[in-house]
Structure 1
Amino acid sequence: MDEELIDDDSIPLSRRTRLPGAGFFYPDSLDEDRAERRAEETLTDVEAVVIADGDADGLACAAMVREQYGAALDVADFEAEIADRIADDPDGDAAGDDPGADDLDADDLDADATGDADDLDADATGDADESTADALEPHERSTVALLAAGPYSIDDSLERVLEYADPGIDLFVCDLCPDDFEWIADPLTELVDHASSIRWFDHHQWDDETAAAVRSAGVDLVVGDSEEECTADVALRSLPHEFDDRWTELAAVTRDHDLWIKEDPRSDDLADYAYWTGAEEYTTVVGAYGANLPETVDRFLEHRRVEKRDRIDAAVDRATTHAIGDWSVAVTYGRCSQNEVAEALREDGADAAVIVKPAGSASIRGSDGFERAHEVAGRVNGGGHPKAAGCKPDIYDDMLDYAHHWTTEGQAARKVILGAFEAVADAAAVEDETEAEAASVDADAE
């Protein structure tokens, strides 16, 4: 393949936002081989391992675990690399992430993960690609290894820990929720005997049976209230370490974005930075600075936001609005930052927003008037929170299906997701009718 066909630098923005990032076209078999090699290097001779969602919430947890073990990396090396990236890329395309990282949602990869578990590809909405750019790997290695994962790659990460980590390590799983226990049962059960301890921190909505099975296997599972806490909050109160105020502030600012509170402008900085850079860099920098990112990172973020704003504008311009039940649902398509697009569509009057991605997944965002995003996603191979969820419709059988997806701006995906909205609207109408009948009966009885 001619690399210029998928090179963002040579494709106009109006066209490249309709296509997946270059990482999408990288064969899974080659990526898996590379991930295995990197996992072996990362997991050899460590005392603890963190498997975490690759968004700001999951990586904040990883930073906390490293703080507990005194295993943070030297931030100065990463700051120097950031400065070099900006200097080498005056046009604003510098990034520290994997070539396919633009397919990941800044918090799909969090809020989109099934169970919410966002990425669902972490692209499932977002499967955080474990192949972060080699250039960002520090020469120094932490004794607390970090594997960035998505909800659909938890089993792979567990198997790699079992394969490459020494017996007796401490294992932490953060900000990830499996669809069910069965597909992680074998490696997790073996790891209970292999590891000294396994602690799992999350805040997504767990199925009761899955949570019970994980706990019965011997895992210390702590799940916070998804309406009140992010996983960083859960880790902060659960780890046996005296964290100073910097960490409390980091958890609060992370929560501000993760729960879509949007009262602290720093939360967008954290989310964007986690989205645009590698897991090791983000974990190291927030571990050193907390929520108050250094000036070098501020310059890097502004550098990247020029194109980000253009992508947001393009997605908003493509949106169409549909009346479904009592809700106004705006649907758009493109490689963009889904939260900001959703916010703009809500400001234009939408109760719910759907952003269909070129990689095949979709982000669903709700509002005070629509708190059933997870129900819609659950009908289309996904899950999430009431106001933030993700899915990846099972409609792509071959590359011709993807070609149709790109050239029609996600027509087939739009159709099945809107169908899920209609099904949820019908179910809501039945619920309302049942409640009204029950209230009438109670009134008559009085």
Structure 2
Amino acid sequence: MDETLIDDETLPLARRSVLPGQGFFYPDEFEEAAADAEAEEALSGAEVAVIADPDADGLACVAILRELYGEVVLLPTSPHEIEDSLERVAEFGEPGVELFVCDLCPDRYEYVDEELEAALDVAASVRWFDHHQWDDDVAEAVSAAGAELVVGDSEEECTADVAVRALEEEVPRRLVELAAVTRDHDLWIREDPRSDDLADFSYWSEPEDYVEIVAEHGPDLPEDVLEFLAERRVEKEALIDLAVERGEMREIGPWTVGVTYGRCSQNEVAEAMRERGADASVIVKPAGSASIRGSDGFERCHEVAGQVGGGGHPKAAGCKPDIYDDMLDYAHHWTTRGAVTKQVILDAFRALVPEEESEAKSESEIES
């Protein structure tokens, strides 16, 4: 394939906003082989390893662990790759390695059961810190397998907060503050302007670079990083504007739901739709996933996501509906701006409408 067709450097912004990034078009086996090789090299001789979501919250946990334990190997892991990273620890980890899992929650225990048990056979201990909405059965199974699971209140703590209070050692003040500022963005409090800087920097930088910087500076990023963020935000704002322009409002039961499509920063898009009256927002991404954001008027995002293979928090969740069988489905997704994905998620909202309100609305429609 001609790489210029997917090159972010040459595609016009409007077209880039409706297509996934270049990595989407590379076969998974290539990425998996590279990840295997990197994990094998990194885990060789390692005494401590951490499997973490490479966002600001997960990487703050890594910075804290490195401060307390010294050299800690990081395996960056998305929520859909937990079993892969556990399997790599089982295969490449040194016997007796101390393993941490941070800011990750399996939707079902059977997704990680064999891999977790294999990792437990190798590791001296597995400590799992998180703050997402855990199913009780999944939490009980993870703990019963032998992992020490600590889950914080998703409305009060981010995972970095959980790590600070769960670890026996005293965490330096700058990293306690890092956890607090990370929480400000992760829980969508947005009272500290530094939290947006952390979120953006974690998204645009390599995980190791991010950890190195915040480990040294805490939440107060150095001037050269702030200049880098200012440059990148020009394009970020343009992508946000395009997604907001595509937004539509749907009335579903008692809620106004904003829905849009595009490669963009979902939190800022959701905020713009809230300002337009949305109780909840759905931002469908070109890669097929979607972010669901709530408000004080809608705190059931995790319930919506849970119906379509995802999860998260009451006011922030994510999912990727299982509706893509081949590239034709993705082609339809891109050309229709996520029409099927939008419909599936909106149907999940409808399933939450109280029965009496749904019946009343049906009667009103019949009368009209």
TM-score range, shorter chain: over 0.9
Does 1:227 find its partner at 2:155? yes
Deviation at 1:338, TM superposition (A): 0.2
Partner of residue 437, structure 1: none
User: Deviations along 1:182-212, whole A, 9 cap, x unmatched?
Assistant: 2211221232231111111011111111111
- Distance in structure 2 (CA, Å) of the matches to 1:148 and 1:305: 24
- Distance in structure 2 (CA, Å) of the matches to 1:323 and 1:225: 30
RMSD over equivalenced CA pairs, Å:
1.3
Deviation beyond 3 Å, 4+ runs, structure 1: 426-430
User: Deviations along 1:229-248, whole A, 9 cap, x unmatched?
Assistant: 00000001111222121111
Q: TM-score, structure 1 length as denominator?
A: 0.79
Q: Using CA pairs below 8 Å that are at least 6 residues apart, which structure has the higher relative contact order?
A: 1
- Contact 2:310 / 2:317 at 8 angstroms: preserved in 1? yes
Matched to 2:69, the amino acid is Y
Partner of residue 39, structure 2: 39
Gaps in structure 1 of 5+ consecutive residues: 72-143, 431-446
Matched to 1:231, the amino acid is T
Partner of residue 4, structure 2: 4
Partner of residue 193, structure 1: 121
Partner of residue 27, structure 1: 27
- Distance in structure 1 (CA, Å) of the matches to 2:258 and 2:218: 36
Deviation at 1:383, TM superposition (A): 1.4
Deviation at 1:180, TM superposition (A): 1.7
Matched to 1:5, the amino acid is L
Describe the SS at the equivalent of 1:288. helix
Partner of residue 74, structure 2: 146
1:383 to 289, 311, 314: 311
- Distance in structure 2 (CA, Å) of the matches to 1:43 and 1:428: 56
- Distance in structure 2 (CA, Å) of the matches to 1:280 and 1:240: 25
User: Deviations along 1:100-148, whole A, 9 cap, x unmatched?
Assistant: xxxxxxxxxxxxxxxxxxxxxxxxxxxxxxxxxxxxxxxxxxxx10001
- Distance in structure 2 (CA, Å) of the matches to 1:362 and 1:428: 29
Partner of residue 321, structure 1: 249
Does 1:370 find its partner at 2:304? no
Describe the SS at the equivalent of 2:190. coil
Query: Matches of residues 25-424 of structure 1 in structure 2 within 5 Å?
Result: 25-71=25-71, 144-424=72-352
Matched to 2:68, the amino acid is Q
Deviation at 1:426, TM superposition (A): 3.8
Partner of residue 439, structure 1: none
Instruction: Tell me whether 189-198 or 410-419 shows the greater mean CA deviation.
Output: 189-198
User: Deviations along 1:248-293, whole A, 9 cap, x unmatched?
Assistant: 1101000000000000000000011111111111111111110001
Describe the SS at the equivalent of 1:242. coil
- Distance in structure 2 (CA, Å) of the matches to 1:429 and 1:203: 33
User: Deviations along 1:139-175, whole A, 9 cap, x unmatched?
Assistant: xxxxx10001022211110110111111011000001
Instruction: Give % identity.
Output: 65
Partner of residue 14, structure 1: 14
- Distance in structure 1 (CA, Å) of the matches to 2:113 and 2:14: 44
